[in-house]
Structure formats: C-alpha cells, structure tokens
C-alpha cells in the first residue's frame, strides 16, 4: 500500500503511471449511487457504514481509480457533535441557527469517540475492502465550514461571513479556532482508522483576497494541517478559484496542493514552490466534450504537470452530477495509458 502509485506521487517519488482519482467520484453521476441512495437522506447515508462503504467502493470498482475518497461530507463532524443542520438536496448544507454571537460557540465542542463510531467503523471496513488502494480521508477547512455556519447555507458572495470577519475579529478567530480543532480531530479519527492520506477542502477560500486569506484564514488551516503532521500521511490542500492563494495554501503546511482548472499546472508549480506536488486540474466540463477533445485537454494537463515535483491527475473541482460515467472511464484509461517519457 505504501508503495501504491498514488502515495508515491504524493511524496514526489517516481511512478509507473500517473495516478488519478476524482473529487466527487462517488455520487449522483453514478446510477448505482442513485439507486442505493433512494429514500435515504444524505446525512443518514454518511452515518450508515453499510451505505458509506458501498458508495465509497462504487467508483473504485467502476473506474479503477488509484485512490478512494471516503463517502462523507464536510458537515459530518458538525452533525456528529450535535449542530442542528441538514444537507438539502440541490442546495447543500443548511444550518438551523446561523452563528451570530460568541455564546453560540459552546456547541462547537471537541469530538468524543462515541460521536464518530460509525465513521471509524466505515473507514476500518473500507481499508479491508480496498486492499492495496489507498483511502483518502477529508475535512472541510475552517473558512469553508465557517461560511456555512455564519450564512446558514450556501452563499455566492459570503457577505455575512466577511462582515463578521471584518467587524468582530475576536469572535472570528475564536470560531475558526474551534473549527480547526474539530477538523483536526476528524482527520485524526480517519487516519487512525486507516486512511492513508487526507484532503483539506477549503472550497470557498478563493473568494478571499490574498491579504485577507493570510490574516484571517491561513493560521487556522495551518493549525489543522499541523495537528496531523505527526501521523505522517500526505496532506492535500484544495480550494476553488485559489490561483492567487496557491503559494499561501502550500505554505499552510500541505504536501500536495490541489489546483482548479483556471491556472495551468506549470504556472501553479512556480507559484506553489517548496517542492510540493500538485493535484488537478482538468476542467470538470471537459468530460462533456468529444472524447478526442477531452483527451487532448487531459494531455495538456499532464504535460503542464511535469513542471511540478509530482502530479496526481484529478479534475479542477468535483465531478458534475450530469457527467457520463463512461466518459470518466475513458479519461481514467487515457491517463493510465499515457507514456510518461523522461523529461
Ligand atoms: O466522492 C467524493 O468526493 C466524496 C464525497 C464528498 C461529498 N461531499 C458527498 C456529497 C465530498 C468530498 C464532499 C465535500 C464537500 N461537501 C465540500 C467540499 C468539496 C467541494 O465540492 O468543493 C463541500 C463544499 C460540501 C458541501 C456540500 N454538500 C455541497 C455543496 C453539496 C451539494 C448540494 C447539491 O445537492 O448540489 C453537498 C451534498 C453532497 N455531498 C452530495 C454528495 C454526493 C450530494 C447529495 C446527494 O447525493 O443527495
């Protein structure tokens, strides 16, 4: 397992073929997923080991990807400690009582082992089922989680989030510190149960200027990544629209930096530096193009990725629900068959 192509690439070691996995590889694009989820609410499925295990395995079986990502959600640890929230189909996480005051932080307590029994059970069972295929655990980064807790749901402009950040920095930092602690604990739980890598999703950090990211967010994401450093597994740090933040996100303590499709990987490699490996970054809509166009674009991604000390192929963000699974299967075959000639 430690010698798997995915883990070797995370460490910047030589690989026999380019590893590939997809963010949101499990989910609505798969008919077998939609069938299994029929009548079961999203969050319930995350806390049911029978479903979480099977859903995690579905894309591994179908595509032969080089890593599995644990079927869960960034709000699962918050639900586990009793925060009143739900995942509304077609909308995303919705929080019953959005955070407006310091008094509300008390609910953001540390994770107790009993809160995450089903998560530990799922991860342990998955590691057995997956054999030599590594499992990636994940958590939401403090900023992205805070945005849901403050806005009460998804937001385009993150107006209320930034309002709190600018007007009450003390409460802001207290909130993000709590979320960093919980995120770190949730990652530790998954790693100790057998996950061989983790990804910290700061999906919405790209809405911040570099200066604001560095002041208000980076120290907290760095705390999450540092809190699992002792466990020695590769740490991937990803966000959308983070072209201007890439160096900072790497400096926050990542081993691998995830890049969305807006920045070519050769440019990203210069920005990230520090010997860090890159992950990404085919436009998720490229899989809707004719196969020859899709594979030409994938080849461009692979060639640009050679500028980095290592490269893990992925999309620039999650698989879109309307994606044709056969197109993804062709993409995996193309990446696996790509001749990595010496540079
Ligand atoms: O395959 C995988 O990548 C693992 C599963 C996964 C899910 N959520 C399952 C899910 C992962 C890694 C996440 C992380 C997550 N959740 C993020 C960060 C990743 C990203 O996409 O940027 C964010 C921002 C969330 C919050 C969230 N949860 C959103 C925005 C949504 C989509 C809402 C919708 O219906 O369009 C969810 C729900 C969700 N999480 C689904 C899945 C498969 C869809 C719900 C369903 O199938 O009913």
Q: Is 62 a catalytic residue?
A: no
pLDDT of residue 343: 56
In angstroms, what is the span from residue 137 Cα to ligand 1's centroid?
14
Catalytic residue among 28, 62, 109, 306: 28
Quote the pLDDT of residue 182: 98
Kindly state if the Cβ of 213 falls inside 6 Å of ligand 1: no
Whether 28 is a known active-site residue: answer yes
| Residue of 33, 63, 66, 73 with catalytic role | 73
What is the predicted pLDDT for the residue at 342? 66
Low-confidence ranges of the chain (pLDDT < 70): 342-343
Q: What is the CATH number of domain 5-337?
A: 3.20.20.210
Please tell me the predicted confidence (pLDDT) of residue 340: 83
Burial 19-33 (b: 16+ CB within 10 A, else e): bbbbbbbbbebbeeb
Domain ranges of the chain: 5-337
Residue 73 near ligand 1, beta carbon < 6 Å: yes
The pLDDT assigned to 341 comes to 73
């Amino acid at each position: 397992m430690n010698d798997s192509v995915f883990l070797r690439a995370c460490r910047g070691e030589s690989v026999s073929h380019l590893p590939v996995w997809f963010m949101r590889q499990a989910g609505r694009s798969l008919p077998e997923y939609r069938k299994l989820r029929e009548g079961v609410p999203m969050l319930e499925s995350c806390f049911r080991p029978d479903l979480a295990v099977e859903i995690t395995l579905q894309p591994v079986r179908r595509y032969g990807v080089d890593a599995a990502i644990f079927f869960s959600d960034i709000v699962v640890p918050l639900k586990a400690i009793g925060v009143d929230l739900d995942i509304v189909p077609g909308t995303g996480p919705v929080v019953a009582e959005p955070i407006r005051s310091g008094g509300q932080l008390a609910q953001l307590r540390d994770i107790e082992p009993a809160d995450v029994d089903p998560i530990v059970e799922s991860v342990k069972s998955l590691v057995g089922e997956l054999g030599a295929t590594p499992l990636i655990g994940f958590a939401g980064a403090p900023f992205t989680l805070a945005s849901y807790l403050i806005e009460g749901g998804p937001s385009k402009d993150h107006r209320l989030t930034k309002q709190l950040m600018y007007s009450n920095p003390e409460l802001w930092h207290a909130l993000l510190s709590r979320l960093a602690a919980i995120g770190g604990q949730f990652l530790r739980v998954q790693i100790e149960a057998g996950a061989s890598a983790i990804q910290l999703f700061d999906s919405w950090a790209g809405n911040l200027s570099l200066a604001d990211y560095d002041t208000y967010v980076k120290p907290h994401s760095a705390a999450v990544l540092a809190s699992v450093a002792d466990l020695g597994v590769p740490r991937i740090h990803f966000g959308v629209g983070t072209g201007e933040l890439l160096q900072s996100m790497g400096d926050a303590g990542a081993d691998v930096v995830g890049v969305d499709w807006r920045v070519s990987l050769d440019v990203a490699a210069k920005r990230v530096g520090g010997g860090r490996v890159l992950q990404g970054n085919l436009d998720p809509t490229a899989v809707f193009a004719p196969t020859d166009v899709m594979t030409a674009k994938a080849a461009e991604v692979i060639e640009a990725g050679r500028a980095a000390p290592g490269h893990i192929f992925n999309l620039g963000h999650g698989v879109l629900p309307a994606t044709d699974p056969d197109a993804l299967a062709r993409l995996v075959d193309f990446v696996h068959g790509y001749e990595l000639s010496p540079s």
